[in-house]
Amino acid sequence: MNKLNSIGLSIPEKNFIVDIEHKVMFNPISFSPSKEGAIGDEIISPKYSEINNYTWKKLFYNQFNCIKNDVCDEFINGINLLNIDRKKIPKLSSVSKKLKSITNWEIMRVEGLVYPRYFFELLANKLFPCTDFIRDISELNYIRSPDIFHDQFGHLPLISDHKFANFFHLFGLAGTKAKNDEEIEWFNRIYWYTAEFGIMKNKIENSSKKIYGAGLISSKSEFMNFYSNNIEVFHLDIDYMAKNTIVDINDFQKYFFEIESFEELEYKFTNWATKNEFL
């Protein structure tokens, strides 16, 4: 029996089994009229206060100006394609509709971080989990856990890019095949060093690298750290990334992996996942 159905979540045209009881790692931070697990049109946005919308506007303005010359072209295209509102918090249902029309991905409303197995299942079904609360105005440069700015501004523009979306889908499909905690950790690390902190070689020779990871895109302090002298950059090596890296959420990143393009990311990930019998 589909456990999602057993607790009343409806997943139209989607078919997967997950352990829903253990998916949320944090308590809900804000009240929302929408049930957790709502997808696309089912998501009802909270009534955001003036200060909430002001926080969004300020975050968007500050962060876009901070990264606009150092972010990959696919992100800028995605912001334009999704037409993400710069002045007030966009409705998840509207952005989900646009995303569906472009890459056939949809948004699922969640209340916080989801456990890896459930997360992989969502990605394998072309569903991206998004929160709908926004941080406090005092937390413009730092957040304790992902909020709607991190999820929408940081992640969604890339998922509107067909090449990145293909990689993300394959990542989810492969992740569902992880057989034990060690293999789950491999996927956590790959996710961290690509979707959260990935960088791309600039197509213009001798100019700075371009960022594509949501952790860099949505956080001024992480972005500034990337341009400090204290970091190292390695070329993409999925096996090394999976088996020899550390994910430390309490410190700035010390090293990054650079890709030539999203085609290279998909190609190398597919090879690694096939060799390790995940695909």
Q: Which of residues 18-47 bind Fe ion (CB under 5 A)?
A: none
C-beta closer to Fe ion: residue 1 or 249 = 249
E strand or H helix at 174: helix 162-175
196 marked among binding-site residues: yes
Work out whether 214 is an interface residue with Fe ion (CB under 5 A): yes
Q: Kindly give the pairing relationship between strand 199-200 and strand 210-211.
A: antiparallel
The least distance separating Fe ion from the CB of residue 28, rounded to whole angstroms, comes to 18
Closest distance to Fe ion from the beta carbon of 253 (Å): 14
Least spacing, CB of residue 67 vs Fe ion, in Å:
15
What 3-state DSSP class applies to 210?
strand
> How many chain residues touch Fe ion (CB under 5 A)?
1
Long-range contacts made by residues 197-206, C-beta under 8 angstroms, separation at least 24? 197/222, 197/253, 197/256, 198/256, 198/257, 198/259, 198/265, 199/226, 199/233, 199/256, 199/257, 199/258, 199/259, 200/72, 200/258, 200/259, 200/260, 200/261, 201/258, 201/259, 201/260, 201/261
- Considering the complex, state which of residue 37 and residue 154 has its C-beta at the smaller distance from Fe ion: 154
Q: Least CB distance from residue 178 to Fe ion, whole Å?
A: 19
Query: Could you give the C-alpha distances from 19 to 3, 115, 183, 279, in angstroms and in order?
Result: 7, 9, 18, 22
Question: What is the C-alpha to C-alpha distance for residues 97 and 113, in angstroms, rounded to an integer?
Answer: 23
Q: What is the 3-state secondary structure (H, E, C) of 231-250?
A: CEEEECCHHHHHHHCCCCCC
Could you tell me which stretch among 110-118, 168-176, 210-218, 238-246 binds Fe ion (CB under 5 A)?
A: 210-218
| Residue number, 17 or 144, with CB nearest to Fe ion | 144
Which stretch, 30-38, 97-105, 158-166, 206-214, contacts Fe ion (CB under 5 A)?
206-214
Options 42-50, 160-168, 213-221, 242-250: segment touching Fe ion (CB under 5 A): 213-221
155 among annotated binding-site residues: yes
Rounded Cα gap, residues 191 and 170, in angstroms:
12
Question: Which single residue is written with the structure tokens 């696309």?
Answer: 40
Confirm or reject binding of residue 4 to Fe ion (CB under 5 A). no
Give 8 or 194: the residue with its C-beta nearer to Fe ion. Answer: 194
CB of 60 to Fe ion, least distance (A): 17
User: 156: closest CA among 210, 220, 67, 78?
Assistant: 78
Identify which of residues 197 and 262 has a Cβ nearer to Fe ion in the complex: 197
Q: Is 194 exposed, middle or buried (0-12, 13-18, 19+ CB in 10 A)?
A: buried
Q: Which stretch binds Fe ion (CB under 5 A): 32-40, 127-135, 198-206, 214-222?
A: 214-222
CB-closest chain residue to Fe ion: 214
* Shortest spacing between CB 191 and Fe ion, in angstroms: 9
Binding of Fe ion at residue 81 (CB under 5 A)?
no
Binding residue ranges for Fe cation: 150, 155, 196
Residues that bind Fe ion (CB under 5 A): 214
